[in-house]
Amino acid sequence: MAHTDRLLPTLRDVATAAGVSVGTASKVLSGGGGVSALRAQRVWDAARRLGYRRNGIAADLRRGRPSSIGFVLPDLTNQFFVDIARALENHALEHGYQLIMAHADEDPARELERIRFVLSRQVAGMIIIPCRGYEHAIDEVRECHVPLVMADRVDETFPAHTVTTDSHGASSDGTDHLIALGHERIAFLVNTLDLVNSRERADGYIAAMRRAGLDAFIQVVECGMTAAEIHASTLDVLKSGVRPTALFAGGNVTTLGALRAIRDANLHLPDDISLLSFDDAPWMSVLRPYLSSIRQPVETIGHAIWQLMLKLLNGERGEPVHLSFKAELLVRESTAPVPVVALQRA
Amino acid sequence: MAHTDRLLPTLRDVATAAGVSVGTASKVLSGGGGVSALRAQRVWDAARRLGYRRNGIAADLRRGRPSSIGFVLPDLTNQFFVDIARALENHALEHGYQLIMAHADEDPARELERIRFVLSRQVAGMIIIPCRGYEHAIDEVRECHVPLVMADRVDETFPAHTVTTDSHGASSDGTDHLIALGHERIAFLVNTLDLVNSRERADGYIAAMRRAGLDAFIQVVECGMTAAEIHASTLDVLKSGVRPTALFAGGNVTTLGALRAIRDANLHLPDDISLLSFDDAPWMSVLRPYLSSIRQPVETIGHAIWQLMLKLLNGERGEPVHLSFKAELLVRESTAPVPVVALQRA
DNA sequence: CTGTTAGCGCGTTCAA
DNA sequence: TTGAACGCGCTAACAG
């Protein structure tokens, strides 16, 4: 009558119930062969009868080789990150790993906390999309010698594998598109310049403006992380003396905030003002006009992250690899030639 | 020189490095008192020097009392679920628990797999928002005697604590609103009637229609789970002989699909057709016209789920409790009186 | 093929 | 106050 006080039956309970040894039971239940059909059946029956559930953490502990990998992401609200999470989860599952997701909520303190938690779960590897001020957090991981792949909000100076979108290029292309439409007063809305990728997006915009000789019109606006903050900042821009003829929103959430501001300022897309969104999202397809946007290659990025992780998992060490993928400019309806009024005013 | 082959230092390594026993080191590092300041300091120093990281799963294993609770959700794409996840995570963290999120991706097979995984992680409790055909999955959990709280897609016949929105009431209110505007031909778009809450939403609509004597106009359309499927189904509805003057979309994703169809059919909100959305989402605020919608009390629901879980965690057993919360009807711009043309045609 | 046994890293007795 | 020893549930190595 072992373990009558415990709620969950253990492997030993199953073994005794089946009249075999723990070793045999273990072999059967963990899928290994080398057990007679008769006994195997007895074990399965006993397990089912007792409602046995294998204790995965004990197994991992014993084996010394964890079966899950951690994924820390900064914002569940951001479709882009969620898409990556889905891609990663699929890849991980295919390769027999479980993905443990943790949510930093754009808060460095919480990020650190979450990283520690995931680490304490003895994951085989860590994939992180960091938030602002992630420096300490990363040290934490690197000290553990846990395979690490960083994504999106990093650059190639980072001392580990990284996978990113070519933010600079995409942003520069987007700006070129706007310029080609005749826009000069183009404002770039960015959540914060504390984030590497946001900074690169801003830099890409600046580079394109310079290239076109529009130095005088460069306007980078730091809007904040939340839609509410962005809303307010954008409204300021729109109500300022000379209004831009085009807005380039540096991300998913920024676009949302900007749209609210445009609405409140009672302006119409694209006649009164053009809007280009860095990041595409499902809801953009139902706007009138359909938003022009820059689509990051989510699947490609997810796949690349996983490939890098797999190599690490297989023990391949070596110089950090820095992968960067081209984004796609989707010209739709929210970007149009500069209205004549604006041209005349200039 | 113990464990030189291991990458991660263990408690024993710290202990030997500090010149104390494992017991002492354990006491220090797990925050317990009863250790002299001198030795405590030595342990801390050693831990820091070695980069010691506590093995949380080993600790849980030994203690027999897990510190995390599982949350299985069906769709990361759905803002409503994500909001609940955030709320739950906050509550859990506040109470010293970690939330392990798992994503079923609207796939019963995967849901089962994910539930098994979470269970294998020896969680202290389980919170599940199920997807279609979840029956087996649930048995899985209940057999384990793990504290279980079900949410959203369940009804009060379920033999465990449940927290839901009053779908029937909300849906009925919404329909009344449409009827009050003079609409008769109101179509109800639902993802699938296999989901209890969707069914209740449909029932609420039907009840309201009957109450108004509009039995003849009742039209419930099963559209499918993805935006693409919904898009197609809705298009069929819009192109059919007598077009409805109002659409009531039974959820977040359904609204998205419906909007795409409305766009493709080249109809305008709310002049050509009215649209009411069950579920509110951030992006709805940037639509012109601003979408009328039904907002579920996410925070309240999240809080209630957690309270129930806490009770279970504290050992309070007893009859299953079934909590249901009222949703809020947000009348905005996408619902308007029936256009005169439609009235005349009727 | 099968059973026995030694730990995985940790918390927790119990003596000293 | 401290340290030694035990065992959480499991797997793997070995002996039969």
Instruction: Summarize the confidence of residues A271-281 as an average pLDDT.
Output: 96
Is A118 in CB contact (< 8 Å) with chain B?
no
| pLDDT over 80 at A340, yes or no | no
| pLDDT over 80 at B221, yes or no | yes
Give contacts of B93 with chain A, Cβ < 8 Å: 113
A305 to chain B, closest Cα gap in Å:
19
**Topology annotation, domain B67-165+298-325:** Rossmann fold (3.40.50)
Query: How far: A53 CA to D12 C1' (Å)?
Result: 21
Q: HEC string of A91-155?
A: HHHHCCCEEEEEECCCCHHHHHHHHHHHHHCCCCEEEECCCCCCHHHHHHHHHCCCCEEEECCCC
Gap between the Cα atoms of B200 and B193, Å rounded = 9
- Could you give the residue range(s) of every CATH 3.40.50.2300 domain in chain A? 67-165+298-325, 167-296+330-345
Closest to A57 (Cβ–Cβ): which among B93, B121, B143?
B121
Question: What is the DSSP code (8-state) at residue A283?
Answer: G
Give contacts of A287 with chain B, Cβ < 8 Å: 286-287
| pLDDT over 80 at B4, yes or no | no
List the one residue out of B16, B34, B17, B30 whose CA is nearest residue B58.
B30
Closest to A256 (Cβ–Cβ): which among B82, B89, B282?
B282
Instruction: Summarize the confidence of residues B126-138 as an average pLDDT.
Output: 84
B302 vs A38, more confident: B302
Where does residue A12 fall: left (phi above 0), alpha (psi -120 to 50 degrees), or beta otherwise? alpha
pLDDT of residue B38: 86
pLDDT of residue A4: 33
pLDDT of residue A137: 74
| pLDDT over 50 at A6, yes or no | no
Positions in chain C where some atom is under 7 Å from a protein CB = 1-13
List the one residue out of B232, B334, B230, B337 whose CA is nearest residue B286.
B334
In angstroms, the Cα distances linking A22 to A34, A64, A225 are: 14, 19, 55
pLDDT of residue A8: 77
In this structure, the number of other CB atoms found within 10 A of the CB of residue A333 comes to: 14
Question: What is the DSSP code (8-state) at residue A3?
Answer: T
Residues 15-34 of B with CB under 7 A from strand C: 22-23, 26-27, 29-30, 32
**Topology annotation, domain B167-296+330-345:** Rossmann fold (3.40.50)
Is B105 in CB contact (< 8 Å) with chain A?
yes
pLDDT in tens, B269-282: 999 999 999 999 99
Positions in chain D where some atom is under 7 Å from a protein CB = 1-5, 7-13
Instruction: Summarize the confidence of residues B227-251 as an average pLDDT.
Output: 95
Query: How far: B24 CA to D1 C1' (Å)?
Result: 10
Residue pair A273/A265 in contact by the 8 Å Cβ criterion: no
- Lay out the sheet containing A322-325: strands in order across: A322-325, A161-165, A148-151, A125-128, A68-73, A98-103, B98-103, B68-73, B125-128, B148-151, B161-165, B322-325
Is B67 in CB contact (< 8 Å) with chain A?
no
Residue pair B51/A143 in contact by the 8 Å Cβ criterion: yes
- Band (B2; pLDDT cuts 50, 70, 90): very low
Residues 6 or more apart whose CB falls under 8 angstroms from that of B15 comprise B21, B22, B24, B25, B43, B46
In angstroms, the Cα distances linking A105 to A101, A285, B82, B100, B306 are: 12, 26, 12, 15, 19
pLDDT in tens, A181-231: 999 999 999 999 999 999 999 999 999 999 999 999 999 999 999 999 999
| pLDDT over 90 at B254, yes or no | yes
Q: In sequence order, what DSSP letters do the residues of A173-189 get, joined into one string? A: HHHHHHHHTT---EEEE
pLDDT in tens, B287-296: 989 999 999 9
pTM of the model: 0.91
At residue B257, the 3 state secondary structure works out as helix
Identify the residue whose tokens are 């897309």.
A269
Which range among A192-206, B29-43, B83-97, B181-195 shows the weakest confidence by mean pLDDT? Answer: B29-43
Instruction: Summarize the confidence of residues A110-132 as an average pLDDT.
Output: 91
Residue pair A249/A262 in contact by the 8 Å Cβ criterion: no
Copy the structure tokens of residue A50: 């007792």
| pLDDT over 70 at B6, yes or no | no
Instruction: Summarize the confidence of residues B67-80 as an average pLDDT.
Output: 92
Give contacts of A148 with chain B, Cβ < 8 Å: none
List the one residue out of B67, B82, B102, B58 whose CA is nearest residue A98.
B102
Give contacts of B105 with chain A, Cβ < 8 Å: 86, 89
| pLDDT over 60 at B5, yes or no | no
- Give the number of C-alpha atoms closer than 13 A to the C-alpha of residue A223, restricted to the C-beta side: 37
Query: How far: B67 CA to D2 C1' (Å)?
Result: 29
In one-letter notation, the amino acid at residue A151 is A
